[in-house]
Amino acid sequence: MHIATCVWQEKASAGGMGGAAAGGGGCAGGEWGAARAKVASVLGVAGCALNCAVSFVVFSALDVLDVVLCLVYKLVDYAAEAEWKSCYCAAASGPRAAQLPLAAAPPAAGGPKVVRLSASSAKLQLEDVSDTLYVRPSLLADATRAGNGSGSGVAPALTVSPAIAELIRGKMDRAPRPPRQAPCWSDCDCKVCHAWSGSPASSSHLYVHVQAPAMAVETEDVVFIHGFISSSVFWTETVFPAFSPSARSRYRMFAVDLLGFGRSPKPAESLYTLREHVEMIERSVLRRYRIGSFHVVAHSLGSVLALALAVKYPAAVRSLTLLAPPYFPVPESESESAAQYVMRRVAPRRVWPPIAFGASMACWYEHVSRTICLTICRHHRVWDRLFRIFTRNRVRTFLIEAFMCHTHNAAWHTLHNIICGSAGRMGAYLDAVDRGLSCKVAFFHGRDDELLPVECTLAAGARVPRARVTVYDRKDHITIVVGQERLFAAELEAIWRAD
């Protein structure tokens, strides 16, 4: 594995000066340094303890709030749409759950684990639906389990309550009824968010931004896939304008809005599984534009989809570039509950740092996260207008649109079924890339990324030894691209030329 540390910012020049200062410090300097280290250690332990204590209080309150909001939304949904909306709050165990017959495919058969939703229903592959959707123990339950010495890595029992079974079956068995076109009362109905409902053709394809050479020349194709709660503007407003004239004349570039995000369809009945996301990319890009071979560039959650495409089309992928891939190697002791392990890593239920607090609310609390979407996403035009007024229109607001143009249903299912649900597959995908693909592979990450730590990319690079791993100093999950567009565009052009 080739690791390159790139520092695009101003380089610190304290190397030689530090050594000279150390020579004259003497013993007093050493004692002072040791004392400072000890104080810092004590403060760190105290801060960690305070963070844990405050987090326990806050998230215990959120456990209760989510239950209250569940009842509130059921009443409001019925009042607004005359329909009781199902949710994943039903207990995953209990006397009624035992009435649901469960079955797993025998290992010798080589098939995936399945669960029968009822005696007459079809089988649902568990690989499509993450158990984190319906197994999310409260903080108090986790603490009690840890106190009893049972640990948090125990795999959730394959028991699904009848309410959850009916919810999943209703979403999977949607052939008898056409997709719902009207937005839910809690979703935005503006032209950007709901443009897909205008015709059957637009509702069956993703929105794709295409940048192609003006003249009819032989080109290479590049597919760009954005990350979680983002859209194609993450690419089209940043690196697309930064490409050199020669790159624009040579490459045909496709930036997609993933299913449920941006201008793409946001079907209410979808489970937003990995299978659905990949099939929509195939239908909307690969088949629609008759793409035979292509480069792939993906960010964050999009890296999972890019790996799935690469494994499915190993001969077609010319290069694979992944930015901040969400790869958390799952310990052997946690292998039976990989999705739960990743959920605890991505959303540790801590109030600090703030990004962990936000991820925890979005991942653990179905109705709290719906409230956040109701407040932010449904009124994104208001927030955008206020932001423009506050900044006097001096700051471009494309990231606000990308962050807010989705529904709670899309965000909730995509988060669990892609980020958490793919935890058990990522290692196999990377191994397949290493063994089955001969194309160039590159990983990029920001050292200051608090959402997905740099260890994710280092672990992915170790799994694909020939990959080039680049770590940007002083860059985080977003500024890995935003703020250094020209430099990153040059990196991509170099990768494509070396193909």
| Confidence check: pLDDT of 266 > 70 | yes
Tell me which residues are annotated as active site: 226, 300, 449, 477
Is residue 487 classed as helix, strand or coil in its secondary structure?
helix
pLDDT in the model for residue 96: 35
| Confidence check: pLDDT of 233 > 80 | yes
Question: Distance between CA atoms of 82 and 100, rounded to whole angstroms?
Answer: 29
Which range (23-37, 186-200, 478-492) has the least confidence? 23-37
Q: How confident is the model at residue 45 (pLDDT cuts 50, 70, 90)?
A: very high
1 vs 429, residue with greater confidence: 429
Alpha carbon 224 to its chain centroid, in Å, reads: 15
pLDDT in the model for residue 400: 80
Alpha carbon 263 to its chain centroid, in Å, reads: 18
pLDDT in the model for residue 28: 61
| Confidence check: pLDDT of 55 > 60 | yes
Q: Which residues, 6 or more positions from 95, have their beta carbon under 8 angstroms from its beta carbon?
A: none
| Confidence check: pLDDT of 121 > 80 | no
pLDDT in the model for residue 145: 57
Mean pLDDT of 307-325: 97
Return the sign of the alpha-carbon dihedral for residues 475, 480, 481, 487. positive
40 vs 92, residue with greater confidence: 40
Question: Residue 123: how many CB atoms within 10 A of its CB?
Answer: 14
Is residue 362 classed as helix, strand or coil in its secondary structure?
helix
Q: Which two tokens stand for residue 2?
A: 């080739």
Amino acid at 291: I
Task: Report whether 272 contacts 259 (CB < 8 A).
Answer: yes
| Confidence check: pLDDT of 1 > 70 | no
Q: How confident is the model at residue 392 (pLDDT cuts 50, 70, 90)?
A: confident
| Confidence check: pLDDT of 122 > 50 | no
pLDDT in the model for residue 108: 35
pLDDT > 90: what percent of the chain? 59
Task: Report whether 134 contacts 86 (CB < 8 A).
Answer: no
Mean pLDDT of 395-408: 83
| Confidence check: pLDDT of 159 > 90 | no
Q: How confident is the model at residue 128 (pLDDT cuts 50, 70, 90)?
A: confident
Q: How confident is the model at residue 134 (pLDDT cuts 50, 70, 90)?
A: confident
Q: Which residues, 6 or more positions from 233, have their beta carbon under 8 angstroms from its beta carbon?
A: 262, 398, 399, 401, 402
| Confidence check: pLDDT of 176 > 60 | no
pLDDT in the model for residue 229: 93
Residue 362's φ and ψ, nearest 5 degrees, are -70, -30
Task: List, in sequence order, every beta strand (DSSP E) within 168-282.
Answer: 208-211, 220-225, 251-256
pLDDT in the model for residue 93: 39
pLDDT in tens, 208-231: 999 999 887 789 999 999 999 999
pLDDT in tens, 321-364: 999 999 999 999 998 889 999 999 999 999 998 989 999 999 99
pLDDT in the model for residue 395: 66
Question: Distance between CA atoms of 283 and 179, rounded to whole angstroms?
Answer: 18
Map tokens 């209410």 to a residue. 268
Task: Report whether 299 contacts 234 (CB < 8 A).
Answer: yes
Mean pLDDT of 141-151: 57
Mean pLDDT of 104-111: 37
Instruction: Tell which residue, 458, 444, 438, 446, has the closest CA to residue 498.
Output: 438
Name the pTM for this structure. Answer: 0.85
Q: Rg for the chain (alpha carbons), in Å?
A: 24
Which range (52-61, 336-345, 346-355, 395-404) has the least confidence? 395-404
pLDDT in the model for residue 280: 97
pLDDT in the model for residue 144: 61
Greatest mean pLDDT range, 204-218, 372-386, 431-445: 431-445
Q: Which residues, 6 or more positions from 268, have their beta carbon under 8 angstroms from its beta carbon?
A: 179, 180, 184, 407, 409
Instruction: Tell which residue, 102, 70, 275, has the closest CA to residue 172.
Output: 275
Mean pLDDT of 383-410: 84
Instruction: Tell which residue, 399, 324, 344, has the closest CA to residue 135.
Output: 344
Which range (256-260, 353-357, 484-488) has the least confidence? 353-357
Q: Which two tokens stand for residue 274?
A: 């990995």
Q: How confident is the model at residue 178 (pLDDT cuts 50, 70, 90)?
A: low
pLDDT in the model for residue 384: 87
| Confidence check: pLDDT of 171 > 70 | no
Summary mean pLDDT of the chain: 83
pLDDT in the model for residue 98: 33
pLDDT in the model for residue 181: 60
Length of the chain: 499
Q: What are the sequence ranges of the domains in the chain?
A: 87-172, 191-497
Domain 191-497 has CATH 3.40.50.1820: yes
pLDDT in the model for residue 296: 98
